[in-house]
Copies of this chain bind each other. A is one copy, B any other.
Amino acid sequence: MNQTHTNELSETIKSKNPVSTIENPGFAITWLQRQLRELEIPVMIIIEGLEAAGKGKVINDLLMNLDPRGFSMYTILPEKGVEKRYPWLKRFWDLSPSAKKMTVLKGSWYRSLIIDSVHKKRDKKERSKFIEQIQTFENSLYAEGFLLCKIFLEVSHKKQRRRFKKIDSNPSSSWKINKKKWKEHKHYDRSMQAAHEVFDKCSSPYPWHVIPSDDMHAAINQSLNIIASLMNEASDGITNGNRLPGRQFISDNSTQDTSKSITSSSSYRLDQMDLSKSISREDYNNIIKSKQKKLRDLEFALYKKKISTVIVYEGWDAAGKGGNIKRVTRHLEPDGYEVIPIAAPDKEEKSHHYLWRFWKAMPRSGHIAIFDRSWYGRVLVERVEGFATDEQWNRAYAEINDMEQYLVKNGVLLFKFFLHISPDEQLRRFQERQENPKKRWKITEEDWRNREKREIYETAINQMLERTSTALTPWHVVASNSKHYARIHVIDTLIQKMSETLKI
């Protein structure tokens, strides 16, 4: 929906709202939840604070005023079990709400920096890396129009001690205060120092609201007030004094002239690639099986070392992505890999941040995820077809680079293959599919339409290759006029880099 529509709608709803935000924040929240849902603004509320700061009490009061159909509440504990086997931000991406939902978190992605810092010291460099990754994450939410309320309940050292003793004296709750908690209490200053570093460095675009919570009654009231007024601002299209970015343009894009926007040039020239490389059927048959078995051995070795692998396939229609993937997986152990076919996003996926569905599919340690098409859809089909605005797909290069850097720096082995075929070869394959009853289902009207847009796709692909090939995350453009050659080439690339990584 566009800007004007947004404001009109919000006026209509507000005029019906019978309660002032200030006088009765709880009831205002009830109203605002419906309003933001209508406006399709996703809301994330994090209630942070040290142990016994009163997070649960604030959340319970908040929950009393929310329609249970519209929110989910989660408690963020230290990573455990299978959570440890993913890049650490993944679980927060997974929890990010859709446009019609609210996520309430007790604790947050700051937990490891603030509370856990008592138990696990991190040096300055490591802390900086965490903070940088958090900034990237929050920027990404901001760019897509999320409302994020960040509340920190500040309990004094003395009051924390008193609350610990009270909890300890109740036989039904005394188990909650264990040695670990007392240690956190003892190192109160260290946690608070870490908290202040976070307030300093992570206050933009979403500021922190620090609320003293020795007096719980006042803290609850103040928290609800802040939440209500932030929700109110968001319903006016305002975040921290600025108009909400991103989201409000989403449904607006069918009107733009997409052909115009594809003009900027790229130094990358797909059309200058040598596509004649090939391999004889005999050679292919002689070597493929042993290479596939080698891949299986590497799959085991990567599993053993808990290294996870992400393989991205992009390429022209009929370039042979499916067949290539089948040859890669032919002798793998099926427990260890998953093929993730990416089509147009469904309703649920569309209502989330566009990266959400990819984060959800990221492999746990030791596993292999193979994406048959990927997040690059944002700068390819979504760009060309106008499903993303100019602002959105232009921004996507940096967002994608950020995500991939994050993955690689967190130990993921990332491969990106673009299977390239010539227009003539594509035509030949289309015609073959059309004529062969066993293959006819593979070809649709859309494939023919896409073919007519070869030129604008080529511009988009060239720019993608140029802007998202980095030293850590290079693209491999694979000459695929010969399917046999392309398969061997991909498998060889995988074997080489996997072996290097494993030092075998």
Contacts and interface: CB of A to CB of B under 8 A. Distances in A.
Contacts of A16: 437
A166 to B, nearest CB: 13
Q: Is the interface of A mostly helix, strand, loop or mixed?
A: helix
Number of copies: 2
A79 to B, nearest CB: 12
A35 to B, nearest CB: 11
Given A335-B106, A343-B69, A438 B64 contact: no
Interface string A328-350: 01111111001111010001100
Contacts of A333: 56, 60
Contacts of A331: 60
A298 interface: yes
Interface stretch (A137-145, A148-156, A170-178, A461-469): A170-178
A175 B59 CA distance: 47
Contacts of A173: 297, 300
A101 to B, nearest CB: 13
A175 B301 CA distance: 10
A438 B340 CA distance: 47
Residue among A56, A332, A334 facing the most chain B CB atoms (10 A cut-off): A334
Interface of A: 16, 18-19, 27, 34, 56, 59-60, 63-64, 67-69, 73, 75, 80-82, 106, 170, 172-173, 175-176, 297-298, 300-301, 304, 326, 329-335, 338-341, 343, 347-348, 372, 437-438, 441
Given A63-B329, A64-B330, 9 more contacts: A19-B438, A56-B333, A56-B335, A60-B329, A60-B333, A73-B338, A106-B334, A172-B297, A172-B301
